[in-house]
Chain A
Amino acid sequence: MYQYDSYDQKMVDARVAEFRDQVNRRLAGEIAEDQFKPLRLKNGLYLQLHAYMLRVAIPYGTLNGAQMRMLGDIADKYDRGYGHFTTRQNIQYNWIKLEQAPDLLADLASVEMHAIQTSGNCIRNTTADHFAGAAADELVDPRPYAELLRQWSTFHPEFDYLPRKFKIAIIGSETDRAAMKLHDIGIQLVTNDAGEVGCKFYVGGGMGRTPMIAPVIGDFVPPLQMISYLEACLRVYNRYGRRDNKYKARIKILVHEIGADEYRRQVEEEFAHILTLGLEPPPAELERIKGFFEQPGFDAAASDDLDLSDPDFAVWVKQNVHAHKQTGYAIATIALKPVGGIPGDATADQIRLMADLARDYSFDELRVTHAQNIVLPHVKKADLYTVWQKLDEAGLANANLDLISDIIACPGLDYCSLANARSIPVAQKISERFADLGRQQELGELKLKISGCINACGHHHAGHIGILGVDRKGVENYQLLFGGSEGADTSLGTITGPGFSEDGIVDAIEKATNVYLDQRADGERFLDTYRRIGMAPFKEAIYAKEPANG
């Protein structure tokens, strides 16, 4: 893992001191709220429905045991004993007191963490493949490039006041586990026939009120020119992106309106100019960073055998454990999705337990996934059963990864001041309706995603089944979408028709799954069946009138 150098630490410490002074002046009445609000937002501190909310950055979703333990301690010390892992691989605390926020940030800084780049129209905290450095299908480890991106983007003066917020994701595998094509910029590290590494740039994707899949803008940018190409992409956006209408200000609108070809032409022109300026970080810096991401000291003699005689353990392994690039090791995902629970929430004790497991069994590393789960990336197969037992004791051995109850849900109207409807109660009711794990397994991979407003923090556009909460004359109403997906087969969901009540949406989903079970061909997921047979059979089922009694 990357470790701060003295520059990193000084910057973060200075930022804490600066914010402490700003808070003190605000509390003393020396600055007004309209002056203070942009300052606190630059430090990740929002004012939500019930209190201040702090969003802590977890760069590319990677953290060590000490950092995770601190997140648990912060939940106890400054919040109400829990935290919420988000769809941007971050964590949010919902009950922060302004007067305590500087102390909280100082505690974070003591473990090389902060809340910078989690708000505002800047380049937000970069996200990445949560299996980076571990996945069996990985071509290039994206973490050194993600770290370079972090260093380049943090406090970048030219891009601190963009037309809108800007989100970058980076992967280095064939499998896209980061919803890369639904970001402002998605970077895929690829190799050519000669074995050389290049960056494939997807620019202009996003969700929100105008969902778009990013087109390819750069096919094969040399890694040592990645930053210059990013500068070019951002400069064209910064120059021509709309600032007159926040709903049309994201880069996806610019790319769509001028067309991918014209946008590419302008980027290439700017890129050629930037290359003459020598702005690219020196190769030695990338090499220095790579040094932090060497493979941990794997036991080369570790056995690949796994005793699956405990049936509950076997179910968890089948669902939550993925192949590792190193023989004798595995990637274990901890699903924060208990039946009837709140997706992404973990108690302080659970957070600390996961930190301990990382320290003891995963070379002190954890990842946060955009699906609001936690990954132990390097677990020796011989240790998996012990890890599972400890998770089970803490209520964290949910064997439902990628099943219908592994729901992505934004905080919704229970917490968020932007939301129009509650997301979490819908997620809870769905997970309770489908509580039987055998039934979930029968349905197979089914990604269900819920957003409480059109901003789509719950990624509803990319759900095999998506739910969008809306406000219909002061009453919560839920639109249903089918056919969304992220990854290699990225697609956007289609709205079925009129919306449903909170209970009605659960019934509609159950009817849709019944259509799938009736009509699926061998090996088809829900998404595959939907793509083959289309919306009509599903629509007929979910809107069918119940026969009148008597």
Chain B
Amino acid sequence: MKIITGNDLRTGDVIWWTGEGWSRHVNDAVDVPEGAEAIIARENAKQIVTDTQVIDATLTDEGVRPAHIKDRIRALGPTVRLDLSLKPADPAAGTWVI
């Protein structure tokens, strides 16, 4: 699947395109098989998101999994500070990115 990601302009938070807006949780990302460039152009014009890009991902039993490790770390947070990640209560969360 193809998903769109970027950063919230004001906060810098990593965000994912949900089809209707932006979410901080990668599992909310929707497949955008085509038309991604138009969505990015439209959203960029709103000046609320920056550094937008289309990335590859797969839909697994655990949810949306970005194809590249860099994007998986973006999705989770730093693996060395899971307390600051999206899964602070899961001590094994870091293994998800590998």
Contact = CB atoms under 8 A, between A and B. Distances in A.
Contacts of A29: 46-47
Interface string A19-58: 0000000111100010000000000000101111000000
Interface stretch (A61-69, A266-274, A420-428): A420-428
A474 B7 CA distance: 23
Interface in A407-457: 413-415, 417, 419, 422, 424-425, 428
Contact of B50 (A33, A413, A424): A33
Nearest to B79: A414
B9 interface: yes
A415 B78 contact: yes
B55 interface: no
Given A97-B12, A98-B9, A413-B70, A50 B50 contact: no
Interface string B8-26: 0111111000000000000
Contact of B78 (A26, A33, A50, A475): A50
Given A29-B47, A424-B80, A428-B80, A414 B11 contact: no
A154 B67 CA distance: 43
Nearest to A52: B12
Contact of A99 (B11, B46, B98): B11
A405 B36 CA distance: 47
A342 interface: yes
B77 A50 contact: yes
Nearest to B10: A99
B1 to A, nearest CB: 17
Nearest to A82: B81
B2 interface: no
A476 interface: yes
Contacts of A108: none
B11 A413 contact: no
Interface in B52-80: 67-70, 73-74, 77-80
A96 interface: yes
Given A414-B80, A424-B80, A47 B12 contact: yes
Contacts of A47: 7, 12, 50-51
Nearest to A417: B70
A342 B80 contact: yes
B87 to A, nearest CB: 14
Interface residues of B, number: 25
A80 interface: yes
Interface range for A: 20 to 34
B39 to A, nearest CB: 17
A33 B9 CA distance: 9
Nearest to B70: A413
A49 B11 contact: no
Contacts, number: 74
Nearest to A415: B78
Nearest to B14: A50
Interface in A465-500: 471, 474-476
B73 A49 contact: yes
B6 to A, nearest CB: 10
Given A97-B11, A98-B9, A99-B11, A49 B70 contact: yes
Main secondary structure of the interface of B (DSSP, over half): loop
A312 to B, nearest CB: 28
Contact of A413 (B10, B69, B77): B69
A4 B13 CA distance: 36
B69 A96 contact: no
Interface in B35-55: 44, 46-47, 50-51
A98 B11 contact: yes
Given A342-B80, A474-B68, A50 B11 contact: no
Contacts of B79: 414, 422, 425
Interface centre among A94, A95, A414 (most CB of B within 10 A): A414
A284 B7 CA distance: 50
Contacts of A422: 73, 79-80
Contacts of A26: 9, 47
Given A47-B51, A342-B80, A424-B80, A27 B70 contact: no
Nearest to A342: B80
Contacts of A474: 67-69
Contact of B73 (A51, A414, A471): A414
B67 to A, nearest CB: 7
A260 B77 CA distance: 46
B73 A98 contact: no
Nearest to B94: A425
Contacts of A99: 10-11
Contacts of A50: 12-14, 74, 77-78
Nearest to A502: B98
B52 to A, nearest CB: 10
Nearest to B67: A474
Contacts of B98: 476
A424 B77 CA distance: 14
Given A51-B13, A98-B12, A99-B10, A476 B73 contact: no
Given A49-B70, A95-B84, A414-B78, 10 more contacts: A33-B44, A47-B51, A49-B78, A50-B74, A51-B12, A52-B12, A97-B12, A415-B78, A419-B70, A422-B79
Interface of A: 26-29, 33, 47, 49-52, 80, 94-99, 342, 413-415, 417, 419, 422, 424-425, 428, 471, 474-476
14 contacts: A33-B50, A33-B51, A47-B50, A50-B78, A80-B84, A95-B12, A96-B12, A97-B10, A99-B11, A413-B73, A414-B79, A414-B80, A414-B81, A424-B80
Q: Which 10 A-B pairs have the closest CB atoms?
A: A29-B47, A51-B12, A52-B12, A414-B78, A424-B80, A97-B11, A99-B10, A33-B50, A414-B80, A49-B74
